[in-house]
Amino acid sequence: MIWYKNQSTDDDIMVSTRVRLARNLAEYPFPRVISKTDAEKVKQEVFGALEQEKELFVNGMHKTEMADIDKTGRQVMVEKHLISSELAAKNDAAVVIDAGEEASIMLMEEDHIRIQVIKGGYDVKSAYEQADKIDNAIERHCAYAFSEQFGYLTACPTNTGTGMRVSVMMHLPALTMTGNINKIIDSASRLGLAVRGLYGEGSKAYGSLYQLSNQITLGLSEMEIIEKLENIAGQIKKHEVEARNALKDNKQVADKLWRSLGTLHYARSISSAEAKSLLSDYILGRSLGIIDETIKQNPIELMVLTEPANVSEISGKADMAADERDTRRAQMLRDSI
Amino acid sequence: MIWYKNQSTDDDIMVSTRVRLARNLAEYPFPRVISKTDAEKVKQEVFGALEQEKELFVNGMHKTEMADIDKTGRQVMVEKHLISSELAAKNDAAVVIDAGEEASIMLMEEDHIRIQVIKGGYDVKSAYEQADKIDNAIERHCAYAFSEQFGYLTACPTNTGTGMRVSVMMHLPALTMTGNINKIIDSASRLGLAVRGLYGEGSKAYGSLYQLSNQITLGLSEMEIIEKLENIAGQIKKHEVEARNALKDNKQVADKLWRSLGTLHYARSISSAEAKSLLSDYILGRSLGIIDETIKQNPIELMVLTEPANVSEISGKADMAADERDTRRAQMLRDSI
């Protein structure tokens, strides 16, 4: 099940878990310098491999060439975190997505192959196992660029080694509200982890959503990386729980959170950034026991479905103006709250 | 019926009409320099006159000495516009209020007697007639300070002559929103009228409520003053109607007005200034045909009943802290919206 639909009712801090493996085929130049013909060959080779390993995808898989879909269609996948924005920007790139929308194999992004598994909630090990299975399946048919000394070779040296990036998306509204998030970001970075906004590097933490991910891919085993991340994610979660406890009896906070719900119910125009912030307030309000009203739809899912391209797609209009989207988004939220 | 309960369903611009006559007894010094004994005599003389003329007050009247009520009780009357804040500040002052709470006779304010009639909606002539009747009734028993040359003599020369101040309280949200209210204030003041905030001189126009009143009391007859005020009030109303028409299709305005309603429904803490602003938005939203939801209670009445002292009185707590009042006010509004 796609990550944003598979949200735990017990844990509203750990939103999703992602494992991404960077791989390249030994016989071809990296995508940045590859010829059109070779790029096509890489894609066909991986498609062929996946075709032969299709029992991995019990409910089937779907292949999409970026060249075949428009900007909105690509952006919808970016907003659902099924592909990266780098992939969406490349006309010769493609992606294979399993029917459950947990695994996506991106082809011709920065590396030939990026295997991504994303799951709702906190499930690093199972996400890794699934990515590892796909990795082994492809490797049965393709020769990876691999060095005994360095491990998997990648276009960018920061990925070399395991080629693995593990990330956990965390909802940290209380740490954001109290400002303590900055201390957390500093500590995590001293421990070799990065804390970033919703869409990775350089993006803002809209809706108080942060991605915690490993910076180091070399010199540690996959399991060591995962354990380190799990350990630190667990500590951050504890800090968030403590920060929430400190807000429980704060009347100003209660007022702010209730007002946000009023805005969700009544506004006629809402930007996607504001939508995430209002929905984040709702989640916090429920968690603190302040808000006793239950909205109809899962708020994390609403954050995704009210992203710009998703709003356009749901409305069946590829070229919606921003203010028209804001109006439609406000209506979607009123209908779902 | 008290002005804020008697609101027209057709006219949400003209909120209330007030006529105030300043009078002094010939034999006594003005309140600023009067002795305690003489102040008591003035009050007894006027009480006696009103007692003999009580058929004027068909449903009865009620006498209140400021010394007998606490700060909250006084302030409740100020907020209901039944007495002035100057009267509320004086321990030797008193007021006689008719049972319908339209007429109040303030004693020992700046002048010995201030006869005030306040009515819901736009009704200058009938308010004047009622004040005039009370004036004549008192005069049948008391000797007023009157000069053939100047007319009624008053403590402050700006009231000398007719001793009359007529004011209309107008709700001007569209002129406020477009900023054109400043032009209106300038024009009115060139024509000898003042446009002031909700509580008269120096007060802010909370809730886009403005008081239009005559500046000149001398050299014009009562009817000339009233006609001039009626004429200018009518023109300002036209400007407000035009300004509202220009806002009818403005999506940003619609969003703002709906959000205000959401805040009224959901906020847990609201200051009295914000309450008036939110209720003003509701009135405008209804008038523009934007808001199709009807709130349970008359919004002008809610503006008065959510004033600080009224909130304290309704809650039965004289010494409520501001934040406690804000919480209670938000609850009152949620219950009445």
- Long-range contacts (CB closer than 8 Å, 24 or more residues apart) made by A71-80: A71/A309, A71/A318, A72/A309, A72/A312, A72/A313, A72/A318, A73/A309, A73/A313, A75/A308, A75/A309, A76/A309, A76/A310, A76/A313, A78/A199, A78/A309, A79/A304, A79/A307, A79/A308, A79/A309, A79/A310, A80/A2, A80/A4, A80/A304, A80/A310
> Which chain A residues are within 8 Å of B268, Cβ to Cβ?
251, 254-255, 258-259
Residue A320: strand, helix, or coil: coil
CB contact under 8 A, B259 and A265: no
Residues facing residue B165 across a β-bridge = B20
Determine how β-strand A113-120 pairs with β-strand B164-171.
Answer: unpaired
pLDDT of residue B204: 75
Residues A285 and A205 in one domain: no
Distance CA A64, CA A42 (A): 15
pLDDT bin (cut points 50, 70, 90) of residue B8 is confident
| Residue B7 belongs to a domain | no
Chain B interface, best mutation among A253, A266, A333, by max B CB count within 10 A: A266
Q: Do B190 and B327 share a domain, yes or no?
A: no
Q: Is A271's Cβ below 8 Å from some Cβ in B?
A: no
- The percentage of chain B sitting over the pLDDT mark of 90, rounded to a whole number, equals 91
User: What is the predicted pLDDT for the residue at A104?
Assistant: 98
Shortest distance, CA A8 to any CA of chain B (angstroms) = 27
Do A298 and A276 share a structural domain? yes
Ramachandran sector of residue A294 (left: φ over 0; alpha: ψ -120 to 50; beta: rest): beta
Average pLDDT over residues A108-122: 97
Among the partner residues A258, A264, A268, nearest to B268 by beta-carbon distance:
A258
* Shared-domain flag, residues A102 and A129: yes
Residue B6 covered by a domain: no
- Residues A228 and A264 occupy one common structural domain: no
Handedness of CA B33, B36, B38, B42 (dihedral sign): positive
B66 touches chain A (CB under 8 A): no
Q: Could you tell me if residue A6 is inside a domain?
A: no
pLDDT for residue B202 is more than 70: no
Residue A250, chain B, CB below 8 Å: the answer is no
Query: Which of A184, A208, A243 is the endpoint of a domain?
Result: A243
**CB distance from A323 to chain B under 8 Å?**
yes
The verdict on a CB contact (< 8 Å) between A268 and B262 is no
Identity at B174, one-letter amino acid code:
A
Q: Is A9 part of any domain? A: no
Q: Do A268 and B254 touch (CB under 8 A)?
A: yes
CB contact under 8 A, A327 and B251: yes
A184 with A270, same domain: the answer is no
Contact criterion met (CB below 8 Å) for A33 and A110: no
Measured between beta carbons, the chain A residues lying within 8 angstroms of B251 are 268-269, 323, 327
N residues, chain A: 337
Residue with tokens 């060095």: A147
Q: Are residues B165 and B312 in the same domain?
A: no
Domain final residue pick, A227, A243, A259: A243
The beta-strand segments (E) located in chain A are: 14-23, 61-65, 94-98, 103-107, 113-120, 146-147, 151-152, 164-171, 193-196, 209-214
Average pLDDT score, chain A: 95
Eight-state DSSP code of residue A11: -
Decide if pLDDT at B218 tops 90.
Answer: no
* CB spacing of A252 vs B269 below 8 angstroms: yes
* Per-residue pLDDT reduced to its tens digit, A57-69: 988 999 999 999 9
Instruction: Indicate yes or no: CB of B255 within 8 angstroms of CB of A323.
Output: no
B293 CA: distance to closest CA in chain A (Å): 11
The string of pLDDT tens digits covering residues A121-132 is: 999 999 999 999
Please give the helix or strand (H or E) that residue B38 lies within, else none: helix B36-52
Q: What is the pLDDT of residues B119-147, one digit of tens each?
A: 999 999 999 999 999 999 999 999 999 99
Let me know whether B105 and B229 are in one domain: yes
Query: Which residues on chain B are in Cβ contact (under 8 Å) with A265?
Result: 262, 265-266
Which CATH number do you get for residue A151?
Answer: 3.30.590.10
In a domain, A8, yes or no: no
Q: Is the CB of residue A109 less than 8 Å from the CB of residue A4?
A: no
Q: pLDDT (tens digit, 9 = 90+) per residue, A269-323?
A: 999 999 999 999 999 999 999 999 999 999 999 999 999 999 999 999 988 999 9
Both tokens assigned to A167? 């990330």
Q: Is A293 on the interface with B (CB under 8 A)?
A: no
Q: Does A165 share its domain with A209?
A: yes
Host domain of residue B332: 251-336
Residues A330, A181 share a domain: no
State the Cα–Cα distance between residues A256 and A173, nearest whole angstrom: 13
Question: Is B2 within the bounds of a domain?
Answer: no
B85-129 pLDDT, tens digit per residue, is 999 999 999 999 999 999 999 999 999 999 999 999 999 999 999
- Interatomic CA distance for residues B266 and A275, integer angstroms: 17
Contact A259 B258 (CB under 8 A): no
Q: Kindly list the strands in the beta sheet with A103-107, ordered across the sheet, starting from the edge strand earlier in the chain.
A: A61-65, A94-98, A103-107, A113-120, A14-23, A164-171, A209-214, A193-196
Answer yes or no: is pLDDT of B199 > 80.
Answer: no
Q: What would the mean pLDDT of B166-183 be, rounded to a whole number?
A: 95
Final residue of a structural domain among B243, B263, B278:
B243
Residue B58's φ and ψ, nearest 5 degrees, are -55, -35
Check B323 against A263: CB less than 8 A apart. no
Whether residue B201 has pLDDT greater than 90 = no
Assigned domain for B174 exists: yes
Asked whether residue A8 carries a pLDDT value surpassing 90, the answer given is no
Strands A113-120 and A14-23: antiparallel
CB-closest option in B262, B323, B330 to A265: B262
Among B254, B258, B268, the residue with its CB nearest the CB of A254 is: B268
Any CB–CB contact under 8 A between B255 and chain A?
A: yes
Pairs of residues, one from chain A and one from chain B, whose beta carbons lie less than 8 Å apart? 53
Q: Any idea what DSSP says for residue B140?
A: T
A85 near B CB under 8 A? no
Distance set, CA B82 to CA A76, B4, B44, B116, B321 (Å):
62, 11, 21, 8, 24
Q: Provide the pLDDT confidence category of residue B262 given band limits of 50, 70 and 90.
A: very high
A215-234 residue pLDDT tens: 888 889 999 999 999 999 99
Arithmetic mean of pLDDT, A107-135: 97
At residue B167's C-alpha, the angle toward residues B192 and B7, to 5°, is 145
Q: What are the tens digits of pLDDT across the range A230-248?
A: 999 999 999 999 999 999 9
**Cross-chain Cβ contact A251/B330 below 8 Å:** no
* Residues B215 and B283 grouped into a single domain: no
pTM, entire model: 0.93
Give the residues across from A115 on adjacent strands: A21, A105
How far does Cα B23 stand from its chain's mean position? 19
Q: Is the pLDDT of residue B200 over 70?
A: no
Q: Are residues A228 and A267 in the same domain?
A: no
Establish if A330 touches chain B: CB-CB under 8 angstroms.
Answer: yes
Nearest 10 degrees: CA dihedral of B176, B182, B188, B194?
A: 80
Region A101-122 average pLDDT: 97
pLDDT of residue A200: 66
Q: What is the pLDDT of residues B281-313, one digit of tens each?
A: 999 999 999 999 999 999 999 999 999 999 999
Task: Give the one of A251, A266, A267 whose C-beta lies nearest to B269's C-beta.
Answer: A251
Judge whether B263 is closer than 8 Å to chain A, CB to CB. Answer: yes
**pLDDT class for B31, splitting at 50, 70, 90?**
very high
> In this complex, do B255 and A269 lie within 8 Å of one another by their Cβ atoms?
yes
Total domains present in chain B: 2
In a domain, B64, yes or no: yes
Contacts of A254 in chain B (CB under 8 A): 268
DSSP structural state of residue B294: -
